Amino acid sequence: MIIVGVETEQNQRYFTESMAELSKLTNTASGEVVFTLTQKRPQVDRQTIIGKGKLQELIQQADAHEADLIIFNHEMPPRQSQLVSEAVGIPIIDRVQLILDIFAMRARSKEGKLQVELAQLEYLLPRLAGQGKSLSRLGGGIGTRGPGETKLETDRRHIRNKILGVKRELKAVEAHRARNRQKRQSSEIFQIGLIGYTNAGKSTILNLLTQADTYSKDQLFATLDPLTKKWRFAEGFEITVTDTVGFIQDLPTQLIDAFHSTLEESQSMDLLLHVVDASSPDRILQEQTVLQLMAELKMEEMPVLTVYNKADQIEPALFTPSLFPNVLISAQSADGKEKLVQAIKQQLLELMVPYTLFVPSQDGQTLSALRRQTLVLKEHFVEEKNGYEVKGFAKSTSKWLNS
């Protein structure tokens, strides 16, 4: 496969990182990059992205390397894609289609599969005209997962009907998710959400805290479906931790729209853990990408603890954090969990409200409930009253604050 990118005045600041990421995305989709073609222009060519001279070079390189697919690092309108494909004689896909393809590979739950299918169908709908022959030659592999070849070759009406059907199914699943979310909120459970750039180590941290045994691998988009697990502190306090899909530079708008309900999981959290790969050379850019997407999703006012992960791959003394509050850990090391738990606990004390309650010694049920539903810091037996004075912290909405 050949990957192609044009460095323009708009993208020059992050062009190199973006091309390296495209190569990683191709590998994640089980493709092999045999050649990288780049070009500098004030702006992309309106017809072919890369202009006539570079197009000839692309034709030669595709022939020399016997490439079976070309991936552009830009979202391509249908006409551009068609012109380049006809000139080179092999299928063309863009960055968006590649990301959608990876999502199709990763989706496990019914909702995840429906969301990916919706995003793919909405992306392909305007690209149906004149694409049938070119796309049908793909046969299998990158760019052909998801809706499938037969759907691509049907008429627009059928695709639109299919989109409506998927949206209806999604609505039902979303309603179920919303009910679960409401249930969690009304039960006063403190909720933590994991967010961050793809491959920063969110799933590893979920496993570290909850023993969830979630799929975690050094791959882009290893996690797609949101997963909520219960985590119990040593003191007995129970909270939930939710892992979500990783963000990425230029995350396709089709995916943001389609994964609206999934991203809503993060919007209802009490605390967000923004997981950052401290060893990444593109760390600052990745942080900015996540913060920008959080702003788009109206999440910028939410409490956030930045977890700088992969400390084992850097020199901690030379590391300068850029987001606060933060903690630097290695999810793979022995003391990583302890440092993370202490940092989370510190955030909880700032977000929650202190209380003092007296519980009669015969009321073991209330004592047990307090340990589960609040962060108990001190239990003192008062002999003359024959009961316990309990001091701790609870959510501001907690019933214990009115007891």
Kindly give the pairing relationship between strand 190-196 and strand 238-243: parallel
Say if residue 220's pLDDT is above 80.
no
Contact in structure between 300 and 294 (CB atoms under 8 Å): yes
Can you read off the two tokens belonging to residue 363? 């009321």
Can you read off the two tokens belonging to residue 56? 């000839």
Q: What pLDDT sits at residue 113?
A: 85
d(CA 310, CA 276): 9
Say if residue 270's pLDDT is above 80.
yes
Q: pLDDT tens digits for 8-44?
A: 998 998 899 999 999 999 998 999 999 999 999 999 9
Closest CA to 326 of 234, 316, 334, 294: 316
Q: What pLDDT sits at residue 362?
A: 94
**Which positions ≥6 away from 335 have C-beta within 8 Å?**
none
Given pLDDT bands bounded at 50, 70 and 90, which one contains residue 134? Answer: very low
pTM for the whole structure: 0.81
User: What's CA 177's distance to the chain center, in Å?
Assistant: 18
Q: What pLDDT sits at residue 136?
A: 43
Say if residue 138's pLDDT is above 50.
no
d(CA 376, CA 394): 9
Say which residue the tokens 């739950």 belong to.
Answer: 109
Using CB atoms within 10 Å of the CB of residue 53, give its burial: 0 to 12 exposed, 13 to 18 middle, 19+ buried. exposed
Can you read off the two tokens belonging to residue 226? 């949101």
Closest CA to 298 of 340, 264, 334: 264
d(CA 242, CA 263): 11
**DSSP code at position 130:** T
Can you read off the two tokens belonging to residue 236? 């007995």
Mean pLDDT calculated for residue range 271-284: 95
Q: What pLDDT sits at residue 222?
A: 53
Query: Lowest mean pLDDT: which of 91-100, 250-259, 383-392?
Result: 250-259
Q: What pLDDT sits at residue 303?
A: 96
Cis peptide before 147 (omega within 30 of 0): no
Can you read off the two tokens belonging to residue 111? 């909702």
Given pLDDT bands bounded at 50, 70 and 90, which one contains residue 129? Answer: low
Query: Lowest mean pLDDT: which of 101-115, 157-171, 370-384?
Result: 101-115
Long-range contacts of 177-180 (CB under 8 A, 24+ apart): 177/111, 177/261, 177/264, 177/265, 178/261, 178/264
Query: Lowest mean pLDDT: which of 51-65, 120-134, 280-294?
Result: 120-134
Given pLDDT bands bounded at 50, 70 and 90, which one contains residue 212? Answer: low
Can you read off the two tokens belonging to residue 44? 């992309």
Say if residue 7's pLDDT is above 80.
yes
3-class secondary structure, 356: strand
Say if residue 132's pLDDT is above 60.
no
d(CA 191, CA 186): 12
Closest CA to 98 of 152, 143, 147: 143
- Annotated binding residues, as ranges? 196-203, 221-225, 243-246, 309-312, 330-332
3-class secondary structure, 385: helix
- Annotated binding residues for GTP, as ranges? 196-203, 221-225, 243-246, 309-312, 330-332
- Annotated binding residues for Mg(2+), as ranges? 203, 223
